[in-house]
Structure 1
Amino acid sequence: MTQDTAQINREMKPAMLRGWRRRCPNCGSGPLLRGYLKLRESCPVCGEALHHARADDGPAYLTILVVGHIMAPLIHVAFTTYRPDPLVLATIFSVGCVALSLYLLPRLKGLIVAIQWAKRMHGFGERNT
Structure 2
Amino acid sequence: MSGVAGAHRSPRTKLPDSEQHQKGQPPVWRAALFGLCPECGAPTLFDGPTKFAPRCRACGLDYSTYNVGDGPAAFLTMIIGALIVAAAIAVDFAFEPPLWVHVLLWVPITAAAVVYGLRVGKAALLASEHQRKAAEGRLVDRHDDDA
Greater Rg over alpha carbons, structure:
2
Query: Is there any run of 5+ residues in structure 2 with no aligned partner, and where?
Result: 1-13, 137-147
> Is structure 2 residue 122 aligned with structure 1 residue 122?
no
| Deviation digits for residues 28-87 of structure 1 (CA, Å, limit 9, x no counterpart) | 125112223332333222232321111211232233234224322211210111111234
1:1-129 map, 5 Å: 9=16, 11=19, 14-122=27-135
Q: How many residues align?
A: 117
TM-score (norm 1): 0.72
Structure (1 or 2) with the greater helix fraction? 1
What is the rounded CA distance, in whole Å, between the counterparts of 1:116 and 1:16 in structure 2? 13
1:121 CA drift (Å): 1.8
Q: Which residue of 1 aligns with 2:11?
A: none
What is the rounded CA distance, in whole Å, between the counterparts of 1:39 and 1:122 in structure 2? 19
Aligned residue identity for 1:93: W
Query: 3-state DSSP class of the match of 1:48?
Result: coil
Contact 1:30 1:46 in 2 (8 A): no
Query: Is there any run of 5+ residues in structure 1 with no aligned partner, and where?
Result: 1-6, 124-129
Relative contact order higher in (CA < 8 Å, ≥ 6 apart): 1
Query: 3-state DSSP class of the match of 1:51?
Result: helix
Structure 1 residues 8 and 46, CA gap change in structure 2 (3 angstroms): farther
TM-score (norm 2): 0.64
Q: CA RMSD in A?
A: 2.7
